Amino acid sequence: MSHDENCVFCKIIKGEIPSAKVFENEDIYAFLDLSQVTKGHTLVIPKKHQQDIFQLDPETAAAIYKKVPMIANAIKDAFKPAGMNIINNNGSIASQTVFHYHVHLIPRYDETDGFTPVFQSHMDDYTEADRKSIAEQIKTHTVK
């Protein structure tokens, strides 16, 4: 298993930094985020150090997302949230602060629970032809 000696999440996995562990298997580690944006806010991380989605290999992604629903349902059963945001930030511009791939499971209780993602629509900025062109550009870079 590869680790980065300067990575706080790698240190958590190795037991060098304490954490409130929720789940662990051979591939992933899940623990409570110290910030507790809402009660039960959990991080799911690979044990193998991979910086972000751009470095994440398909096998590790599968291992993570195989367990995310199970952990989300455990949070739901424990705390009865009204919903849940499942978020992954990649790169500083996207608010990634720890550069070890991780998925946030943030239970939502009501509109005043302390977490407010905002998505602005730019639908009117793009024509149907623009959207088709963008889709084609992405398709040309997709591995088949």
Q: What is the mean pLDDT of residues 16-29?
A: 98
User: What domains can be seen in the chain, in order of their start residue?
Assistant: 8-119 (3.30.428.10)
Per-chain mean pLDDT for the chain: 95
What is the per-residue pLDDT for 130?
A: 96
What is the per-residue pLDDT for 84?
A: 98
What is the per-residue pLDDT for 1?
A: 66
Q: What pLDDT digit, counting tens, does each position of 82-133 carry?
A: 999 999 999 999 999 999 999 999 999 999 998 888 889 999 999 999 999 9
CA 143 to chain centre: 23
Which residue numbers are catalytic? 102
Q: Classify residue 90 as left (phi > 0), alpha (psi -120 to 50) or beta.
A: beta
Q: With a cut of 80, say whether residue 77 has pLDDT above it.
A: yes
Give the burial class of 122: count Cβ atoms within 10 A of its Cβ; 0-12 exposed, 13-18 middle, 19 or more buried. exposed
- pTM exceeds 0.85 for this model: yes
State the Cα–Cα distance between residues 56 and 46, nearest whole angstrom: 9
